[in-house]
Amino acid sequence: MGEHHGPAKGITRWLYSTNHKDIGTLYLWLSLIMFFMGGVYAMCIRLELLQPGIQYFDPSLYNQFITLHGLIMVFGAVMPAFVGLANWMIPMMIGAPDMALPRMNNWSFWILPFAFSMLSLTTLMPGGGPNFGWTFYAPLSTTFAPPSTTFFIFAVHMMGASSIMGAINIIVTILNLRAPGMTLMKMPLFVWTWLITAFLLIAAMPILAGAVTMMLFDIHFGTSFFSAAGGGDPVLFQHVFWFFGHPEVYIIILPAFGVVSQIFPTFSRKPLFGYVSMVYATAAIAILSFIVWAHHMFLVGMPFVGEAFFMYATMLIAIPTGVKVFNWMTTMFKGAITFETPMLFAIGFLVLFTCGGFTGLMLAIGPADFQYHDSYFVVAHFHYVLVPGAIFSAMGATYYWLPKWTGNMYNETLGKVHFWLSFVSINVLFFPQHFLGLAGMPRRIPDYALAFADFNFLSSIGGFVYGASQLIFVYVVIQCIRGGTGKVSEKPWDGAVGLEWTLSSPPPYHSFSTPPDPKLIPDLH
């Protein structure tokens, strides 16, 4: 029972936890470790691409690097980062004592380290780890895959189980544990985006489980889902995968939208502009995300109507996303802006995510995608939305809430250095990739023609600088946990509103053991 008001002593605090903050912390550390692991793969990729020719890694090893880089960044770094933030912040934002189902919460977390161990162990097996790209298209991932694929499949099953349970927990918490007076339309936008993301997760992850299950049967039991010789179709795999895969990219970005929707009002000292339209836009994006999947498959030979339909549906997503972008701009408009590190990351997010969105719209144009598809132009697009999109947002969130979590202020100067180094180097890293793609460089190749040498060199240099800059982040976080630049009050940001800022910094072990005074709940629109 909740009689003990402090954490347990020693390691069991973490192993057996039922506390949303401890579990949130576990998620966040896992995410950081995975970000570095995925980052090491990324550095190997950039190292090999520094110059034409094969310098360090055999092509088959390179293929494993890109696969694991993609998988680990998406499933290991970004998703746990936002689940960690949800764990920490949602109960505090809605005035709840904890997550609704605390034991299941811990289960969702602990599956992940085991799943990623399983995934990592594949690299030591004969034949090497998964080498078919993070999209694992059949039959490269079935008939032609290394034996370790069975382990890869089970690792994906485990990640899926973890995500579904985590999402159920979040939905239940939001729907059932809001403090009296916290109506749905008073919830902070971060909570709203997570509510919708959780729905996407519950709908999309089982589809992924279905896809890998069919793979498993094709590999081991002679079924022919993805083999034309038995009446199946390799393209069927892509349909199933992307029916999961496209919602997945919004699973990644919606919580990021939520985070910046918290940060912009705080540092503009002005309420979020268009709260209601933000909620509707988020819901619109979520719904649309289920009817656009085949924009990843413009080249598979879909019938003309299919091609046209998916092109139009995809273009539509620009509208609600645009609403969000304009709302954020207007939130800052006529505010009184200051530029602490979280705000810098949020502005960086706004600028660069929009750039990634623009290229997304270009990719959505079917005929044009006939040239862009599977070229570095796509790589540039999705890194713009993923790195300065999702990662910037997660890092901004960390700076934003770190004082709340630890009770200490982080080193602002170092934070700003981290931002500016990241902001500049990320563009050196990914902007030239647009040119490479347009000039005809395919993705997923370890070696390339000489015409692509210069931009690749440039991109790699940017990559190394960006990678090295992330060490600053780790330093700032640890320093802040250890005391930082001094203690902070319950509300370190003068412009911040919301229930989480009414709790002490660091907050009590059980967030709201008694529901907060309804008068404390701010009206957001």
Partner 1 sequence: MSSNYYIPDQSKFPILMSASMFTMLFGFAFVLNSIKGDSLSHISVVAAVLGLLAICSITFLWLRTVVVENIEGHTSAQLQKSFYIGMGWFIFSEVCFFAAFFGSLFYVRVLAVPWLGGEGDRGSSNLLWECFNAAWPLIQTPDPEQFPPMKNEVVDPWGIPFINTLLLVSSSFFIHWAEGAMHKGERQKMILWLVATLAFGFTFLAFQAYEYHHAWTELLLRLHSGIYGSTFYLLTGFHGMHVTLGAIMVSVVFLRTLSGHFSKENEFGFMAASWYWHFVDVVWIGLFIFVYVM
Partner 2 sequence: MNLFQNRSLSLPGFFLLLLLSPVTAFADMAMNMPVGVSTISREIYGLHMYILYIVCAIGVVVYGGILYTIIKYRKSNGQEPAHFTHSLKVELLWTAIPTVILIAIAIPATDTLRKIYDSSESDLDIMITGYQWKWKYEYVGEGVSFFSNLKTPLEQTEMGSTIEKNEAYLREVDNPLVIPSDKKVRFLITANDVIHAWWVPDFGVKKDAIPGFINETWVKVEKPGHYTGACAELCGRNHGYMPIEVIVKTPEDYQAWLDSKKQSNQKQAAAAQEAAKKEWTLEDLVAHGEEVYETNCAACHQGNGEGIPGVFPALKGSKIVTQDKKAHINIVLGGKNNMPSFKAMLNDVDIAAVITFERNSWGNNTGEMVSPADIAASK
Residue numbers of the site for ligand HEA (CB under 6 A)? 36, 39-40, 42-43, 45-46, 66-67, 69-70, 73-74, 77-78, 133-135, 249, 252-253, 295-296, 314, 317-318, 321-322, 325, 354, 357-358, 360-361, 363-364, 369, 372-373, 378-379, 381-383, 385-387, 389-391, 429, 443-445, 463-464, 466-468, 470-471
How far apart are CB 357 and Cu ion at their closest, in Å?
12
User: Is residue 248 annotated as a catalytic residue, yes or no?
Assistant: yes
Residue of the chain from 59, 97, 335, 442 that contacts partner 1 (CB under 8 A): 97
Residues 449 and 245: their CA atoms lie apart, in Å, by: 31
How far apart are CB 203 and partner 1 at their closest, in Å?
5
Instruction: Lay out the site mask for partner 1 across 366-405 (x = CB under 8 A, - = otherwise).
Output: ----------------------------------------
Residues 92 and 502: their CA atoms lie apart, in Å, by: 9
Rank residues 289 and 456 by Cβ distance to Cu ion and give the closer one: 289
User: Is residue 162 annotated as a catalytic residue, yes or no?
Assistant: yes
Which residue reads 């972008």 in tokens?
A: 325
User: Is residue 250 annotated as a catalytic residue, yes or no?
Assistant: yes
Q: Where are the beta strands (DSSP E) in 382-466?
A: none
Cβ atoms of 159 and 112 closer than 8 Å: yes
Cβ atoms of 97 and 3 closer than 8 Å: no
What amino acid is encoded at 168 in this protein? I
User: Is residue 374 annotated as a catalytic residue, yes or no?
Assistant: no
Cβ atoms of 91 and 19 closer than 8 Å: no
User: Is residue 443 annotated as a catalytic residue, yes or no?
Assistant: yes
Residues 353 and 349: their CA atoms lie apart, in Å, by: 5
Could you tell me how far CA 134 lies from the centroid of its own chain? Answer: 15
Residues 261 and 196: their CA atoms lie apart, in Å, by: 15
Among 243, 365, 245, residue whose Cα is nearest residue 313: 365
**Which of partner 2, ligand HEA, partner 1, none sits in contact with 466, Cβ below 5 to 8 A by type?**
ligand HEA
Residues 419 and 416: their CA atoms lie apart, in Å, by: 5
Instruction: Lay out the site mask for partner 1 across 3-32 (x = CB under 8 A, - = otherwise).
Output: -x---x---xx-xxxx--------------
DSSP assigned state of 145: S
Residue of the chain from 326, 444, 515, 520 that contacts partner 1 (CB under 8 A): 515
Which residue reads 């402090």 in tokens?
A: 6
Catalytic residue among 246, 418, 434, 491: 246
175-234 residues in contact with partner 2 (CB under 8 A) are: 227-229, 233-234
User: Is residue 261 annotated as a catalytic residue, yes or no?
Assistant: yes
Residue 161: burial class (beta carbons within 10 Å; 0-12, 13-18, 19+): middle
**Which of ligand HEA, Cu ion, partner 1, none sits in contact with 147, Cβ below 5 to 8 A by type?**
partner 1
246 part of the interface to Cu ion, by CB under 5 A: yes
What amino acid is encoded at 253 in this protein? I
84 part of the interface to partner 2, by CB under 8 A: no
User: Is residue 98 annotated as a catalytic residue, yes or no?
Assistant: yes
Rank residues 244 and 273 by Cβ distance to Cu ion and give the closer one: 244
Interface with partner 2 (CB under 8 A), residue total 108
410-439 residues in contact with partner 2 (CB under 8 A) are: 428, 435, 438-439
457-486 residues in contact with partner 1 (CB under 8 A) are: none
124-143 residues in contact with partner 2 (CB under 8 A) are: 125-128, 131-133, 137, 139-140, 143
How far apart are CB 42 and ligand HEA at their closest, in Å?
4
CB-facing half-sphere around the CA of 344: CA atoms within 13 A: 19
Handedness of CA 191, 192, 193, 196 (dihedral sign): positive
Cβ atoms of 389 and 253 closer than 8 Å: yes
Query: What region does 222 belong to: left with phi over 0, alpha with psi -120 to 50, or beta?
Result: left
**Which of partner 1, partner 2, ligand HEA, none sits in contact with 154, Cβ below 5 to 8 A by type?**
partner 1
Instruction: List the catalytic residues.
Output: 69, 98, 134, 162-163, 246, 248, 250, 261, 295-296, 321, 324, 443
